Amino acid sequence: MSIKVSACPRDCYSTCSFLVSVNNGRIGLIEPHPGNRATSEGICLKGLSYSERVIHPDRLLYPLKKIGGEFVRIGWDEVFSIIASKIREMHEKYGPESILYYAATGTKGLLNRVGPAFWELSGGFTSTYGDLCWPSGLEATRLTLGENKHNAPWDIEDSGLIISWGKNIAETNIHQMKFIENSLKNGGKFVVIDPRRTETSSKADIHISPAPGTDGALALGIGNLLIRNDFIDKEFIKNNVKGFNEYKKTAGKYTPDIVARITGVSAEELAELSEIIGKTKPMTITAGFGMQRYRNSGQTIRSLIALPVITGNIGKKGGGWVYANLQSHIFDAIVDPLAIYPVNDKENIRNSISVSKLGEGILKSKDPPIKMIWVERGNPVTQNPDTTSVIEAFRSLDFRVVVDQFMTDTAKEADIVLPAKTMFEQSDVINAYWHHYIQLKQKIIDPPGEVKPESEIFYHLAMKLGLSESDLKGKIPPPSDEGVEEFLKERVADFSGLSLDRLKEGPLPAPGSRDIVFDDLIFRTPSGKIELSSDEAEERWGVDKTPEYKPPAVSDKSDLPFVLLSSNTKNRIHSQFGNLKMISQFDDPSFIHINPDDASKKGISEGSSVEVFNNRGIISGKAKIDFGLRSGSLLVRNGRWMDEGGSVNFLTGQIETDMGYGAAFYDNRADIRRLS
């Protein structure tokens, strides 16, 4: 038996460091690596389930081709010939832009760059822009503070006040709870702001429950009281903040009575919360991603960031704004959200489609139309807005290739399905977005069956298209462990203190990273100061210079009675992991949560078969009476497969956020009815 250092590459806050035991080619015990201070105590159930994922009986092990509606096994030589022929056909008939390359965030790593490199070398392609997860919050933070970075995870232990705003930490950022609990042991206060009662709110000193989508008004109301009661840091504002007077004027409109009417949070609760914020230092606000899935979300996030700014909690130990920590993103040419903007670079024959409007973008594409799609690291049929439109778009194409470990709902729509590696079957270097470690995910076992890593698939396709080794050098590694290692060595060579040999021993802090960010009071904004008034916000996005509140837009019939929420769950990452027995025994996504008063009015009881519907679609499930859910809201778990009652995205619209080209999943209303 041997033990190797590795790390989890999933799209998750923790990006845990692992010590993995392997015996006779089989994965054994998976334990936390003590060298990662952020994740040194315990691995989540998802991480433990990797051993099952590798050997799962439903795992795809061979290339498949759809013939007569059924998938049959074919050989790799035939696969490469078919795909290369289709690429040439698309180029000749329509041009390279007729091929859409869709890559999501199912796994992280430097080798993810190989896909775009292949398509550029092959002559060009159409890409996507925007992001389904968090881009309006990224852009709001960049506009305000200049960079997306925050204090080290353990710094929150030194907070006198921690506000978890729209974030169910105990389920979605489980390692952060340890540091929060340490703060509480030291006398810190913990406030949770969330429309739902959750596992996290059960640990809070105070739980504030605003109406969904009204967080911006709540934050501006708090800001108004902080200014009115002189709970602000005037010296910090004078030296480091641009636009305070403009912000003061905007916030002044949000009196306690107005805020109470908008949010459902009483004037008394608002006064108590503002006093706690004003009198308790240092303060940290740690914010979730759900709030920035409304059309008004960028401005909402800007209004939240203003609170630690005007109270002087930026650049302080135990204080700050915790949203995205991109200090470890040292390999990216552009670290911040400028990278998500639309591309229209004719020199590289490359156009782009919004991920938030994927179905519409494909169906409306002209000059040329999209005729072929390649999907990897994602499941867009169920995970992108408006599933019906996405399915229609997929079925309108001439040729579809999906690379995945399992037969997902997207893979079922493909003409060719290619088996993907698991995290143990190829080395890669990964970064994170909560802590600032760089890590090596080492190859530990050989892929089973005829599985080929994605980089190897692209290498062989490149050869089939007539490209040479010299064309691929530095862009697509040769199909060998040695070739991959050399590729990774070249990527880390430019950074002092980093090497593959050192990373094989454990995680390393990214060069230049800091435990306390902005302590130098350097802000990479146009003014060099924190910008509560941003000219760029107005010029680029057409929003007010200061963070103004706008009500959630209604993307459906206005008479539908329920706001539809779709939260993540502890044991899944979107549509991943739910097919594993280790997970499914604890996780039932079929439940549709409803407040007891609403359920009574609808004649619904616990376990009733129900449908949720709007003018876009219908999904089904079993009713879950949820005393922690506000009246007027329904909650469906994100990540449901078709055979689990249907994706919640059958009900969501193709709407972009006010900045960052995000998906406004939550600007959505629905109704519910009992079936039995």
Q: Which structural domains are found in the chain, ordered by start?
A: 1-57+421-449+474-513 (3.30.200.210), 60-130+341-419 (3.40.50.740), 136-326+521-541 (3.40.228.10), 562-674 (2.40.40.20)
| Cα 120 from Cα 496, distance rounded (Å) | 30
Handedness of CA 317, 323, 325, 326 (dihedral sign): negative
How long a stretch of residues is the chain? Answer: 676
Q: What's residue 348's pLDDT?
A: 41
Single-letter amino acid code for the residue at 258: I
| Cα 535 from Cα 661, distance rounded (Å) | 19
Angle at 370 between CA 365 and CA 372, to 5 degrees: 165
Reported as type and span, the H/E element at residue 591 is strand 591-594
Q: What's residue 278's pLDDT?
A: 97
Q: What's residue 554's pLDDT?
A: 58
What DSSP string describes 539-589? HHH---SS----PPP--S-TT--EEEE----TT-BTTBSTTSHHHHTT--T
**Any bridge partners for residue 102, and if so which?**
375
Q: What's residue 435's pLDDT?
A: 97
pTM (two decimals):
0.94
Q: What's residue 91's pLDDT?
A: 97
What DSSP string describes 399-443? EEEEEESS--TTGGG-SEEEEPP-TTSS-EEE--SSS-EEEEE--
Low-confidence residues of the chain, pLDDT below 70? 333-350, 553-558
Reported as type and span, the H/E element at residue 404 is strand 399-404
Q: What's residue 577's pLDDT?
A: 82
Residue reference for tokens 């089939």: 464
Residue 212 phi, psi dihedral angles, 5° rounding: -55, 135
Pairing relationship of beta strands 669-674 and 399-404 according to DSSP bridges: unpaired
Residue 547 phi, psi dihedral angles, 5° rounding: -70, 100
CA neighbor of 633 nearest in space, from 293, 158, 209: 209
| Cα 5 from Cα 235, distance rounded (Å) | 48
Residue reference for tokens 């994927």: 358
CA neighbor of 210 nearest in space, from 503, 647, 632: 632
CB 634 within 8 A of CB 597: no
CB 59 within 8 A of CB 50: no
| Cα 186 from Cα 659, distance rounded (Å) | 39
Q: How far is CA 497 from the centre of its chain?
A: 29
Three-state secondary-structure class, residue 674: strand
Reported as type and span, the H/E element at residue 536 is helix 535-541
CB 530 within 8 A of CB 314: yes
Single-letter amino acid code for the residue at 67: I
In whole angstroms, how far apart are CA 530 and each of 203, 240, 291, 313, 518?
Answer: 33, 6, 22, 12, 10
